[in-house]
Structure 1
Amino acid sequence: MRVDELPLTLGPYPRGAANAITDVPGVRVGHATIAEGDLRTGVTAVVPDTLGPRRRALPAGLFVGNGYGKLIGATQVVELGAIETPVLLTSTLSAFRVADALVGHVLSWSGYEDVTTLNPIVGETNDGFLSNIRARSVTADHVVHALASAHSGAVEEGCVGAGTGTTALGYKGGIGTSSRLVDVGAHAVTVGVLVQSNFGGVLTVDGVPMPAEELLGHAGVESPGNSCMIVVATDAPADARQLDRVSRRAVFAMGRVGASFSHGSGDYALAFTVAEERPAEDAQLDPLFGATMDAVEEALLNSVLAATTTRGFGGQVAHAVPVDGVRSRLGPR
């Protein structure tokens, strides 16, 4: 189930064709999923095809809502306002192996034979409630698979890739995505979002609370890491400073779905553009800001609505959102 199947409209801007981050031209997504024994984890890759020998960096911005996390490569993004690699998401204790594998992958690209410095971008959330996180089971092969399988069009959501073992808002969390079409000045642009949800709070859909203890009839789960990774891609003409502003709005949108923003939460948003045109005027960015917040809200809701009940490490269970209960509480729309 997705938000648009409830059906529910969030915000004034139309969705893209796939309603996914892949609606942004040249952006692909791939997953590697590990679901065996006591493991529920994986890797998700966001791959902008414009990166390569001709264009080794893309303008990027970053906002840290709460820094209890491991976003590898963050300081160089802040310093230089650019990303040099695809963006990978994974499990907390596997982030470092994933970063090393990502460096090896990019260094193998044709035209990169002279590269002696590279800043990998790898984010994470803690999937230790459902997965044996200390096993650090993600390997370079999983990274290669996620990158090689990256495709355009519809994106798998819920219990897949880096979202295989996550929980959010009392329910099973996971990967979610959405997109919006807007005008920024004279440019018709796309804003696409992909999230890895793993945070606490009370699920809220279009302003209506959906407490797990009421919809499930028992207490929901509390994420051990209480974190969220948000990746925003666009083809809007923007510079790094403006993308910093976009990424702030992305984290703000977590409040719409009921995030608790707790002490142990690592809430990060990274925004990048594939555009090469001169940046728009700041006064023209309001539609971009609004579309980002709407797309993040929908992607976060999709991440839990698409997830299925999962039993994992130690027999622990994270339950799916009862969609009929959500529909009942929303009432006629």
Structure 2
Amino acid sequence: MHTPRRVRDLGVVVGTLPPGALNAITDVPGVRVGQTTISGGDLNTGVTAILPDGYADGLPAAVAVGNGYGKLVGSTQVDELGVIETPILLTGTLSVFRVADAFLTWLLDRDPNATSLNPIVGETNDGHLSAIRRRPITPAHVHAALDSASPDLPAEGCVGAGTGTAALGFKAGIGTASRTLASLAAGVGTVGALVQSNFSGLLTVLGTPIPAQPLDADGNSCMIVVATDLPLDARQLGRLARRAIFALARVGSDYSPGGGDYAIAFTTNRTPGFADRDLRGPFQAVTESVEEALLNSLTMARTTTGHGGNSARAVPHDLIIERLRSAGVLR
């Protein structure tokens, strides 16, 4: 029986910075995550919601695009103004617009005076395992994900927006991780990441290739959400978001031209005052967090058979351990 386990529980330690208490995006104070999962038969999809406290007043933010073959609703206004004014939602490709509409209803219900809102909704294509043309996401699914948001450790693997996704030849899904930083000029801070993995390439763990049979899947994309409480401005958050996309290479992404690689980074700290010369630590924190989140999205997933009998198998944990030991990486 395959038991999902986080990659750190397998003895695989990514990088040198310490993780937060949960090793999750919710280690950033004021950040919550909620998810709704549709699983079974031809439908394997869902919604993942990231809710930072204070979003309604605008939080500094930036978007980075590695490959733009995707749909990220609301991204141009984030680029223009350098803030987010709503939570961030993730789902399957053809459900983006239904999710955005239901999301807007949820936002309007909470702000009776609003005449302009910028809901942010990202996606990857889960059509290999889910009947994507059915667009099964309803307002109830969207509202449940938002209303259930919690500061606890988010579920990973085959949940929420990652229910039907696959990456690097194996079943993937949602993953998260974090890093803490001390002795910074601006004080102690946390960087956390949550990913929706759905991209091609050769799985690589701590520099060691893990072979897999290629999947005949439509999706070759990844959505990355980075949160921090460091006092960064929008330009500096853009630099963090770009490093988040760079981190895809650390796990073996081939950056396929048929996919969309997006990162959105925000801070819950509205008091900018961080010098660019001090960004080395945050850069390391974001690349380590994203790398570990991507690996968690795989090791926490279960083998799934879905639409049309298509399947994606979970990466065997013993295969990872064997390969790392053979490479002298893992004792």
TM more than 0.5: yes
| Segments of 4+ moved more than 2 angstroms | 276-279
Deviation at 1:113, TM superposition (A): 2.0
The percentage of counterpart residues that share the same residue type is: 59
Q: 1:226 aligns with which of 178, 196, 220?
A: 220
Q: Does 1:22 align with 2:26?
A: yes
Alignment deviations for residues 72-104 of structure 1 (CA, whole Å, 9 cap, x no partner): 001111111111110000000000011111111
Paired residue type of 1:314: G
Alignment deviations for residues 267-287 of structure 1 (CA, whole Å, 9 cap, x no partner): 000000001223301111110
| Structure 1 unaligned regions, length at least 5 | 213-218
1:236 aligned partner: 230
Deviation at 1:180, TM superposition (A): 0.2
Deviation at 1:11, TM superposition (A): 1.4
Give the RMSD, CA atoms, in angstroms: 0.9
Q: Does 1:99 align with 2:100?
A: yes
Are the equivalent residues in 2 in contact too, given 1:169–1:222 (CA < 8 A)? no
Q: 1:268 aligns with which of 262, 281, 293?
A: 262
Alignment deviations for residues 166-194 of structure 1 (CA, whole Å, 9 cap, x no partner): 01000001000000001342310000100
Q: 1:326 aligns with which of 317, 320, 325?
A: 320
Deviation at 1:3, TM superposition (A): 1.6
* Distance in 1, Cα, partners of 2:173 & 2:72: 18
Q: 1:49 aligns with which of 32, 46, 53?
A: 53
Tell me the secondary structure at the aligned position of residue 108 of structure 1.
Answer: helix
Q: Does 1:166 align with 2:170?
A: no
Alignment deviations for residues 17-61 of structure 1 (CA, whole Å, 9 cap, x no partner): 000000000101111000133100000000112223xxx211001
Paired residue type of 2:71: K
1:288 aligned partner: 282
Q: Does 1:181 align with 2:176?
A: no
* Distance in 1, Cα, partners of 2:261 & 2:28: 23
Paired residue type of 1:69: G
* Distance in 2, Cα, partners of 1:308 & 1:296: 21
Are the equivalent residues in 1 in contact too, given 2:186–2:231 (CA < 8 A)? no
Are the equivalent residues in 1 in contact too, given 2:224–2:244 (CA < 8 A)? yes
* Distance in 2, Cα, partners of 1:180 & 1:41: 29
1:199 aligned partner: 199
Q: Does 1:7 align with 2:7?
A: no
* Distance in 2, Cα, partners of 1:36 & 1:6: 28
TM-score by length of 2: 0.96
* Distance in 2, Cα, partners of 1:150 & 1:75: 26
- How many equivalent residue pairs? 322
Paired residue type of 2:94: L
Are the equivalent residues in 1 in contact too, given 2:186–2:230 (CA < 8 A)? no
Q: Does 1:311 align with 2:305?
A: yes
Are the equivalent residues in 2 in contact too, given 1:199–1:223 (CA < 8 A)? no
1:208 aligned partner: 208
Paired residue type of 2:19: R
* Distance in 2, Cα, partners of 1:162 & 1:113: 29
* Distance in 2, Cα, partners of 1:238 & 1:44: 25
* Distance in 1, Cα, partners of 2:14 & 2:296: 12
* Distance in 2, Cα, partners of 1:7 & 1:191: 22
| Structure 2 unaligned regions, length at least 5 | none
Paired residue type of 2:87: P
* Distance in 2, Cα, partners of 1:186 & 1:85: 26
* Distance in 1, Cα, partners of 2:272 & 2:233: 8
Are the equivalent residues in 2 in contact too, given 1:235–1:274 (CA < 8 A)? yes
TM-score by length of 1: 0.95
Query: Aligned runs of 1:51-70 on 2, under 5 Å?
Result: 51-52=55-56, 56-70=57-71
Are the equivalent residues in 1 in contact too, given 2:232–2:267 (CA < 8 A)? yes
Deviation at 1:120, TM superposition (A): 0.6
Are the equivalent residues in 2 in contact too, given 1:31–1:44 (CA < 8 A)? yes
Are the equivalent residues in 2 in contact too, given 1:182–1:287 (CA < 8 A)? yes
Paired residue type of 1:163: G
Paired residue type of 2:179: R
